[in-house]
Amino acid sequence: MKVLPAYALILIAHTSQVMAEDLTFGIGSANIGNSAPGSPTFQIEYHSDPIWEFERVRVSAAVALQAEGNSTFYVGGGLSTIWDFAESWFVEGSLLAGYYDEGRDGVDLGSDLQFRSLVGIGYHLPNKSSVSFALDHLSNAGFERLNPGRESVTIRYSIPF
């Protein structure tokens, strides 16, 4: 199963050429608020062209890979949304379902199937890229008896295509 991240990156790269609207990179800390020690975390996400657009809201398909310093990783897909609530400011959110591997010394979340919810606030830069600050939560949504959850905070940079 350790080759899954490589296959996921190939799949993400292939689909991005067809439908990607932006590429997002994140760096931060995982396991915040837990008794387990924190771990550096890195994210890469592709967001498609909008599936639905409303006045100031865009909903897109999303695929994400998140890797942590203790060899923990998560790969998932789902929906992402951006709400432009002011001239340059936005709120971002996403809900993804995917595969979680706790790696060595990672947090046992009770299952390989995990759901990631994310909320963040960001700013559109003049060059059409953006920066944001986000909080995400991984959980098996109570499908398993053990469901401690895990949170991360990240600073994100998005590049539009």
Domain ranges of the chain: 4-160
Model confidence at 6: pLDDT above 70: no
Alpha helices (H) in the chain, listed in sequence order: 4-19
Q: 4-160 has which fold? A: Porin (2.40.160)
Cβ neighbours, 10 Å, residue 83: 15
Model confidence at 11: pLDDT above 80: no
Reported confidence tier of residue 109, pLDDT bands at 50, 70, 90: very high
The string of pLDDT tens digits covering residues 44-89 is 999 999 999 999 999 999 999 999 988 999 999 999 999 999 999 9
Reported confidence tier of residue 134, pLDDT bands at 50, 70, 90: very high
- Residue 37 is which amino acid? P
pLDDT confidence of residue 37: 67
In angstroms, the CA 42 to CA 11 distance is 18
